[in-house]
Amino acid sequence: MTAPAAQQRWPWWPLLPLYPYGRRRTLRRELIPGRLWSFEQLQGIWYVAVPIRMTVLRVREGLLLYAPVAPTGEVLAGLRQLEEQVGPVCTIVLPTASGLEHKLPLPALARAFPDAQVWVTPRQWSFPLPLPPAWLGFPAARTRVLLEEGVPHGDQLEWLPLGPLDLGLGTFMEIACFDRSSGSLLLTDALVAIPPEPPEVFELDPTPLLFHARERGDEPLDDDPRRRRRGWQRLVLFANYLRPRLLEVPPLAQVLRHCLAPGCRNPRSHFGFYPFRWLPGWQDDFLALVPGGQSRLQVAAVLERLVFPRQRQALVGWIGELAALETLRWVVPAHYEAPVACSAAAMASLADRIQASPWAPDQGPWQTLAGIDRTLVGLGVVPGEPIET
Ligand SMILES: [Fe+2]
């Protein structure tokens, strides 16, 4: 059942003005019966929207919320329902130091659950101004720093930090949470599994898929499974590589000529403004991310090339720690697909694969990311020295 629009309002969207702005539809799914749930929304720029997920884990004392999403009326109603079934929200975890999209919803979510203990990853930072945690809206009296001031539910959960890693601009740090009882490993940004088909959350709003499925701006946003799939493949390429390799920006005069065509005179289709032309063969770069048409756990390209290009050893070391979780069964990242079936052996082979493959390359679809990285290194914004040991 679809919630009314008023229940999907997110008034704080101007803090991070991403699509779908002030209206966040939420898909709630039960990932492991009676144990693990996800609340999924879309977020992105210019209709390049990917799923963002808050994971809700049942612990002995009640519910733990991992990686907040915008707490709309719809999200809060869903959480209240779970509270009635399972127990109170007792713990809220911000598992990343840098991921703004996970950080900004925290204050409003914490206010909605005034009795919950809030735990945040160390080395929180803000850009462009370095603000103290209280200014970021974290409730000082009940906020603790993970690992530095202990961990929540340590008798049931294991907490495994990646980082801190120096990014120049700030610090990358992410803290994985392993639920021993269900074998579920909750992650934020470091690892993802990209599904071959559009995720279910797009059922609530397929507009981003349909917008990018087109070849020209004067095509209306028609809907069918083939278009949705094509739109998804293109969104993935945008989200991973920022500027896909086989994409041209046509001359402005040509773009403007396709504006205001019949069927496109509306804000939903940006009045026909569509400055993209996809070139033959573009699907190959998507298929490389989904080998054999199967999703598989991997480091997101934008992270590999811009966040970890000189930090492969730190990443491999962390994945090695995850591979020591003998009862690992599921991985639940905060983006793309979840849950992803996994095992300690599969995690170990991921570490081996990362170690053995070329890392953060410059060629092919990586050209744009590599160019950005070179520019940042050249400007001295990020450290250029390899820190591999
Ligand atoms: Fe994220």
Residue 12 in tokens: 């704080």
The residues placing their C-beta within 5 Å of ligand 1, an ion, are 99, 189
pLDDT in tens, 190-203: 999 999 999 999 99
Is the predicted pLDDT of residue 103 greater than 50, yes or no?
yes
Is the predicted pLDDT of residue 322 greater than 90, yes or no?
yes
- Average pLDDT over the chain reads 89
Say how many Å lie between the CA of residue 283 and the centre of ligand 1: 25
What is the C-alpha to C-alpha distance for residues 318 and 310, in angstroms, rounded to an integer?
A: 15
CATH 3.40.50.1820 holds for 5-193+328-351: no
The 10 Å Cβ neighbour count of residue 358 is 8
Listed in order, the ranges of the chain carrying CATH 3.60.15.10 are: 5-193+328-351
**228: enclosing H helix or E strand:** helix 225-241
What is the C-alpha to C-alpha distance for residues 383 and 307, in angstroms, rounded to an integer?
A: 11
Percentage with pLDDT > 90 across the chain: 58
Residue 164 in tokens: 């801190």
**166: enclosing H helix or E strand:** strand 157-166
Q: Read off the DSSP letter of residue 150.
A: B
Backbone phi and psi for residue 376, each to the nearest 5 degrees, phi listed first: -65, -40
Is the predicted pLDDT of residue 320 greater than 90, yes or no?
yes
Q: Look up tokens 């950080």; give the residue.
A: 103
Say how many Å lie between the CA of residue 43 and the centre of ligand 1: 10
Residue 84 in tokens: 């009635």
Residue 382 in tokens: 């990020």
Average pLDDT over residues 97-121: 93
- Angle between helix axes 344-356 and 312-322 (nearest 10 degrees) is 160
State which of 18-22, 114-118, 279-283, 362-366 shows the largest mean pLDDT.
Answer: 114-118
Residue 82's identity, in one-letter code, is L
Say how many Å lie between the CA of residue 67 and the centre of ligand 1: 9
Average pLDDT over residues 22-47: 92
Buried b (16+ CB within 10 A) or exposed e, 310-322: bbbebbbebbebb
Residue 117 in tokens: 């203990």
Is the predicted pLDDT of residue 264 greater than 80, yes or no?
no
Is the predicted pLDDT of residue 389 greater than 50, yes or no?
no
Residue 323 in tokens: 């591979």
Average pLDDT over residues 316-334: 97
Say how many Å lie between the CA of residue 337 and the centre of ligand 1: 13
Say how many Å lie between the CA of residue 17 and the centre of ligand 1: 15
First to last CA, the chain: 53
Say how many Å lie between the CA of residue 263 and the centre of ligand 1: 35
Say how many Å lie between the CA of residue 101 and the centre of ligand 1: 6
What is the C-alpha to C-alpha distance for residues 164 and 4, in angstroms, rounded to an integer?
A: 42
What is the C-alpha to C-alpha distance for residues 151 and 288, in angstroms, rounded to an integer?
A: 39
Is the predicted pLDDT of residue 223 greater than 60, yes or no?
yes
pLDDT recorded at residue 257: 79
Say how many Å lie between the CA of residue 103 and the centre of ligand 1: 9
Average pLDDT over residues 165-169: 78
Say how many Å lie between the CA of residue 266 and the centre of ligand 1: 31
What is the C-alpha to C-alpha distance for residues 384 and 373, in angstroms, rounded to an integer?
A: 9
Say how many Å lie between the CA of residue 27 and the centre of ligand 1: 17
Could you tell me how many residues make up the chain? 389
DSSP characters over 311-369:
-HHHHHHHHHHHTT-TT--EEE-SBSS-SEE--HHHHHHHHHHHHHS--S--SGGGHHH
Say how many Å lie between the CA of residue 189 and the centre of ligand 1: 5
- List the beta bridge partners of residue 196: none
**For the purposes of burial, counting CB atoms within 10 Å of the CB of 233, is it exposed (0-12), middle (13-18) or buried (19 or more)?**
buried
Q: How confident is the model at residue 373 (pLDDT cuts 50, 70, 90)?
A: confident
State which of 183-187, 217-221, 302-306, 310-314 shows the largest mean pLDDT.
Answer: 183-187
Say how many Å lie between the CA of residue 187 and the centre of ligand 1: 10
3-state secondary structure (DSSP) of residue 18: coil
